[in-house]
Chains A and B, each alone.
Chain A
Amino acid sequence: MVFPFRRGTRRALLHPTGSSWGDLLFRAGSGAAGFAILALLALLAVVLAINALPSFRAFGFGFLGSTAWNPVRDEFGALPFIYGTLITSAIALLLGVPVSLGIAIFVAELSPGSIRVPLTYVIELLAAVPSVVYGLWGLFVLVPLITTYVSPALQGALGFLPIFQGQIYDRNLFTAGVILAIMIIPTVSAVSRDALLAVPQHQREAALSLGATRWESIRIAVLSYARSGIFGAVMLGFGRAFGETMAVTMVIGNRNAISASWFAPAQTLSSIIANSAREGAAGSLELGAIVELGLVLMLVAFLINVFARFMVWRFLGKREGGLE
């Protein structure tokens, strides 16, 4: 390689980090790209806010507490969708987190080293399946399965709970929650696995040397040490479930109402946007309301993600700082 001998060369030799015009330009260019990311995020919030303005003017904060959704009479409220989103996310976490933790424990603590990597790849394949394919599979495989077997069984066993009462619709909150549970597994299990692997070996040995069984050492030394990392993983899973759209839209039944029963059709923030955004005319109150729902979705997802990233970063950062 021939290095160009230019004016900057001698200086660069003496001060390897000193800048030349080329450096400055390059630095400015890449810096601009970096800050474009921040700008994009800000623009996202501003554009959504502008579009949501008509709705916010019309309904104020009452929008969040209202159950109305009537394009004909121009009445809109977010509550059924917030409710649907929270319930489906809760079901997803309820079912998905224990399974993900089990996977993380198996992969990080119990599996022989030789199957750890292949197993990790296979679980990650769950994340490579597009959301709409989950929806398709949900519609044709999971919905019949749950409607025929799972829901009646739940109603039979736990029918005294309001959430398992009433007519069983084939597309409902519960099925949407189950699909979401499957979809958050790769995220939650991968991040918790990283958290478990970050626990120093001497912690496990401390527990084992006290006469703990392997499970006891996982419980008192590993899980508790990694708990903030695991919590971050759960929050990331929550973020994913919270904003997931297509699979939910396809199996939740799309009904703008609140029902106590998990077997009733419902709607989430993302599914109503997917269903209705195309119908709102530009500048209409309906479109404003839909964009405001999007704004709510974005803000909450943003907060969840900020929080989750913070937890995970802090935990994994602590480990790196502690390595010798």
Chain B
Amino acid sequence: MTRKLAAEKVSAWYGPKKAIEDISLDFEEHATTAIIGPSGCGKSTLIRCLNRLHETVPKARVEGKVLLDDKDVYADDPVAVRRRVGMVFQKANPFPTMSVYDNVAAALRLNGVRDRGKLDKIVKRSLEQAALWDEVKDYLGKPGVSLSGGQQQRLCIARALAAEPEVLLMDEPCSALDPIATAKIEDLIFDLKKDYTVVIVTHNMQQAARVADTTAFMYLGHLIEVGGTRELFERPRETLTESYITGRFG
């Protein structure tokens, strides 16, 4: 296994408030890494630093390095970074004025793909990868927001996949979904790691246990422990981790 993405001593602020401090964490290629921790522990902030989205928030600041294929993304163009590192958000956020098709094709069009045949092919493939194709293939012209919540979230996954990223960041992708939709997305995450490097933030420990190969536990802006998912849940090294996974706080 090789390291695809790595955070090196990353700290981030919102104005004067420090959200995460000195975090170093490796993300293996073709594996799923879960980041768990109580609300407000900085896990979302951390993955927003990975694709340089954190810095788009007014007064937000980042220090440290994020290495993608061993090159610092903070030395590169943020647009180029985000094209290689896709993201799925907590709340499904399809573009409301675009159809299902146009939502998925958005990234391709930004990159200048005009060829209808090529677009059709990639849209179909992305929707299939997101396990949504069968449900929407007859409604590609309908607005993306007309789908159900779970479908919208898979649409957003398809939209991110269509950009052909190398890494997929998921920020609590199931927190707004019902159990059935959640199960579908979890299956999907399991399949996606064959082709992508997946990083998922979740406050749901069962979810982390189900989908992740590696799990990292964060608390109050610090990385407390990281290890194989099974190991972390069964034999945590830190007492903080143990307290959290046994439900004594959080």
Question: Which residues of A are at the interface with B, using a C-beta cutoff of 8 A?
Answer: 112-113, 200, 202-213, 216, 220-221, 224-225, 227
Q: Can you report 11 residue pairs joining A to B where beta carbons are below 8 Å apart? A: A205-B87, A206-B89, A206-B95, A209-B51, A210-B86, A210-B159, A211-B80, A211-B107, A212-B82, A221-B95, A224-B95
Take A113-B59, A205-B53, A206-B156 as given contacts and tell me if A211 and B79 are in contact as well, using a CB distance cutoff of 8 Å. Answer: yes
Shortest CB–CB separation between residue B123 and chain A, in angstroms? 14
Is B111 part of the binding interface, using a Cβ–Cβ cutoff of 8 Å?
A: yes
A113 in contact with B83 (CB, 8 Å): no
A113-B58, A208-B56, A211-B79 known; A202-B91 Cβ under 8 A:
yes
CB neighbours (8 Å) of B107 from chain A are: 210-212
State A207–B156 Cα separation when bound (angstroms). 11
Residues of chain B from 72 to 99 with CB closer than 8 A to chain A in the complex: 79-80, 82-84, 86-87, 89, 91, 93-98
Question: Is the beta-carbon distance between A205 and B56 smaller than 8 angstroms?
Answer: yes
Contact of A208 among B53, B84, B169 (CB under 8 A): B53
**Residues B97 and A210 in contact, CB atoms below 8 Å apart:** no
Q: Which residues of B contact A213 (CB under 8 A)?
A: 79
B51 touches A212 (CB 8 A): no
* Chain B residues within 8 Å of A, Cβ to Cβ: 51, 53, 56, 58-59, 79-80, 82-84, 86-87, 89, 91, 93-98, 106-107, 110-111, 156, 159-160, 163, 169
User: Would you call B87 and A209 a contact (CB within 8 A)?
Assistant: yes
Q: In the assembly, what is the distance between CA of A113 and CA of B14, in Å?
A: 14
Closest to A200 in B: B93
List residues of chain B with CB within 8 A of the CB of A210.
82-83, 86, 106-107, 110, 159-160, 163
Beta-carbon contact of A225 and B111 below 8 Å: no
Query: Within the assembled complex, what's the spacing in Å between the Cα atoms of A276 and B169?
Result: 69
With both chains docked as a complex, state the minimum distance between the C-beta of B189 and any C-beta of chain A, in angstroms: 17
Q: Which of B58, B84, B93 contacts A202 (CB 8 A)?
A: B93
Question: A212 to B109, alpha carbons, bound, how many Å?
Answer: 10
Q: A202-B91, A203-B93 are known; give 7 further A-B pairs, CB within 8 A.
A: A113-B58, A204-B56, A205-B53, A208-B53, A210-B110, A210-B159, A220-B98
